[in-house]
Amino acid sequence: MKSTDTNSSREQFQQKHGIVGSSIEIEEIVNVIQQVAPTDITVLITGESGTGKEVAALAIHAASKRSKKPMVTVNCGAIPEGIIESELFGHEKGSFTGASDTRKGYFELADGGTIFLDEIGELPPSTQVKFLRILENGEFMRVGSPLARKVDVRVIAATNKDLESEVRAKRFRADLFYRLRSVNMRIPPLRERREDIPALFEKFARDYAAANNIVFGGITDEAMDVFLNYYWPGNVRELRNVAESMLVIGNGRKLTAEDVQKYLKGFQVHNEERNLPVFVPKNPDIPERELIYRALVDLKNEITELRSLVLDSINGNGERHGSPVMRSAAGHGHLSLEDMERTMIIESLEKYAGNRRSAAQALKISERTLYRKIKEYGLQ
């Protein structure tokens, strides 16, 4: 009896806050959300990208006494390092070039409500100190002002990084880490709670069909089996995208295993590799990233070698020799690597219709790095 009551109140809660899933993992997460929501405790939500960290943060805020006030979401990785402090804490007029007026920061805007600091692992060390101070006593200073101000803000932070190893690598302050992790909610990747896949697929398919006035013709059991066995590197977000694309492809008819397999084909190779123990890394994206890095480093070394060869030959003869290609390599040897990077950035921005978050994810760099590179290469 007791557990049925608990179940139904949890189900109601999930329905109210749009949290789909009945795996033990989701049940536990929802329990924690229900426990922490009424308090002001700082919560750290960890999990791979697309697992539902923002969904959880929104539910905590909406179920709290602060729900009438705003939840301000800040993606720490997307704000350039130079302006992050003024964005978070505000600034006084004239405090730096371009500060033409006094501005409130996100913490002040969230006063009385909640601030959701996404990608907290991207916070620069100098800002980490100031953030810790706000966590300890609610105090902060606007950039350019000696005045300590106070805010009443509930902090929820999220990261897809392993903060513990960030601490070991001295990129994240240990004191801040310990302060943050007092309540650590880990949202497991979708592949670790596969039983949630059918309900999530159903929800996304139905929502999309309703919003776009199209018919969802259902899905065969075999097709669902393919989904159930897929690795889902992009987690729930990927499932949502796949569901929406499949609906368009299906054009109203029932989706078959063949439809699904065809659609996921590009990913299946990785999927099989990942099933071999030796290839199963903690972060499924690392091997590809490493390969790209290695290829870039190789390329750079080759260019450096080529450049020194060319320069040697030029200096040795006292005059310029060689083909135009060689000459350009001598002058701009390093450009090839940049060109390649620039092209990759342009291509991903095009692929994701200018969405920087998705482009950065595809490139496996932070949004901040992408932002910087866009500026650097004049791609705006």
Ligand X SMILES: Nc1ncnc2c1ncn2[C@@H]1O[C@H](COP(=O)(O)OP(=O)(O)O)[C@@H](O)[C@H]1O
Of 140 and 232, nearer to ligand X (C-beta) is: 232
Residue type, 222: E
What is the C-alpha separation between 218 and 253, in angstroms, rounded? 7
Residue type, 155: V
Q: What are phi and psi for residue 185, nearest 5 degrees?
A: -100, 115
What is the C-alpha separation between 8 and 16, in angstroms, rounded? 12
Of 209 and 306, nearer to ligand X (C-beta) is: 209
- 114 binding partner (options ligand X, Mg ion, none; Cβ < 5 to 8 Å by kind): none
Judged by CB under 6 A, the residue of 44, 46, 47, 110 near ligand X is 47
Cα four-point dihedral sign 104, 109, 112, 117: negative
Binding mask 105-144 for Mg ion (x = CB under 5 A): ----------------------------------------
Using CB atoms, what's the residue nearest to Mg ion? Answer: 54
Residue 209: alpha-carbon gap to chain centroid: 27
Q: Which stretch binds Mg ion (CB under 5 A): 10-18, 46-54, 176-184, 232-240?
A: 46-54
Q: Which stretch binds Mg ion (CB under 5 A): 48-56, 201-209, 228-236, 349-357?
A: 48-56
Judged by CB under 6 A, the residue of 10, 130, 191, 240 near ligand X is 240
Tell me the site size for ligand X, rule CB under 6 A: 15
Q: Which stretch binds Mg ion (CB under 5 A): 53-61, 98-106, 294-302, 316-324?
A: 53-61
Binding mask 190-219 for ligand X (x = CB under 6 A): ------------------------------
Question: Residue 78 CB, nearest distance to ligand X (Å)?
Answer: 13
Question: Residue 300 CB, nearest distance to Mg ion (Å)?
Answer: 33
368 CB burial (10 A radius; 0-12, 13-18, 19+): buried
Question: Residue 318 CB, nearest distance to ligand X (Å)?
Answer: 60
Neighbour-count burial for 98-135, b at 16+ CB within 10 Å, e otherwise: ebeeebebbbbbbbebbbbbbbbbbbeeebbebbeebb
What is the C-alpha separation between 64 and 34, in angstroms, rounded? 9
- DSSP class of residue 89 equals H
CB 106 within 8 A of CB 88: yes
- 240 binding partner (options Mg ion, ligand X, none; Cβ < 5 to 8 Å by kind): ligand X
What is the C-alpha separation between 350 and 347, in angstroms, rounded? 5
Asked if 362 interacts with ligand X (CB under 6 A), we say no
What is the C-alpha separation between 69 and 113, in angstroms, rounded? 5
Of 15 and 35, nearer to ligand X (C-beta) is: 15
Binding mask 16-45 for ligand X (x = CB under 6 A): --xxxx------------------------
162 CB burial (10 A radius; 0-12, 13-18, 19+): middle
Name which of residues 142 to 171 contact ligand X (CB under 6 A). none
Judged by CB under 5 A, the residue of 54, 196, 259, 367 near Mg ion is 54
Q: Which stretch binds ligand X (CB under 6 A): 48-56, 127-135, 250-258, 359-367?
A: 48-56
Judged by CB under 6 A, the residue of 23, 34, 49, 95 near ligand X is 49
Contacts of 156 (CB under 8 A, 6+ apart): 42, 43, 45, 57, 60, 61, 114, 115, 116, 117
Binding positions for Mg ion, rule: CB under 5 A: 54
Binding positions for ligand X, rule: CB under 6 A: 18-21, 47, 49-55, 236-237, 240
